């Protein structure tokens, strides 16, 4: 059974940094692209970043380009999101998801981890 478990969220001051992790199990992690999506309180879904199975292809949303870095360690079946220069508007639940490889559809999602940026 596919499982995705995010961790690393918490309270951070504006301008600070945080590294999110997503532990994957139940599938051959290296053969799937992965994505990060967030949802601010009471708001809709916002796509953040995509990474291919080999890490050879990476995309970012304009809102996080230059501040967030996606990466993965296929030996550890783990996905990461390094978040720097955090702003209040980055406060959200952050989800990792598996890209099923068809039209960018994410077929499995983690439960999410909450990031709160506040002084």
Partner 1 sequence: QSVLAQPPSASGTPGQRVTISCSGSSSNIGSIGVNWYQQVPGTAPKLLIYNDNERPSGVPDRFSGSKSGTSASLAISGLQSEDEADYYCAVWDGSLESRLFGGGTKLTVL
Q: Which residues lie near partner 1 (CB under 8 A)?
A: 35, 37, 44-47, 50, 59, 61-62, 95, 97, 100, 102-107, 109-112
| Closest C-alpha to 78, from 36, 26, 114, 25 | 25
Tokens 């596919």 found at: 2
Residue 16 or 52: the one with the smaller Cβ distance to partner 1 is 52
Question: Could you tell me the smallest distance in angstroms from the CB atom of residue 62 to partner 1?
Answer: 7
Q: Are strands 10-12 and 113-117 parallel, antiparallel or unpaired?
A: parallel
- Shortest Å distance, C-beta 74 to partner 1: 22
Q: Which is nearer to partner 1, 23 or 61 (CB)?
A: 61
Smallest distance from the beta carbon of 36 to partner 1, in angstroms? 11
DSSP code of residue 85: S
3-state secondary structure (DSSP) of residue 53: coil
């Amino acid at each position: 059974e596919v499982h995705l478990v995010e961790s690393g969220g918490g309270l951070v001051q504006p301008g600070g940094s945080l590294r999110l992790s997503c532990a994957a199990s139940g599938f051959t992690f290296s053969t799937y692209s992965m994505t990060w999506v967030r949802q601010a309180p009471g708001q809709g879904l916002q796509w953040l970043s995509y990474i291919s199975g080999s890490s050879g292809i990476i995309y970012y949303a304009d809102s996080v380009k230059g501040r967030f870095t996606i990466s993965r360690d296929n030996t550890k079946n783990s996905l990461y999101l390094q978040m720097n220069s955090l702003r209040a508007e980055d406060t959200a639940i952050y989800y990792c998801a598996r890209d099923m490889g068809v039209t960018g559809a994410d077929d499995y999602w983690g439960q999410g981890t909450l990031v709160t940026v506040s002084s």
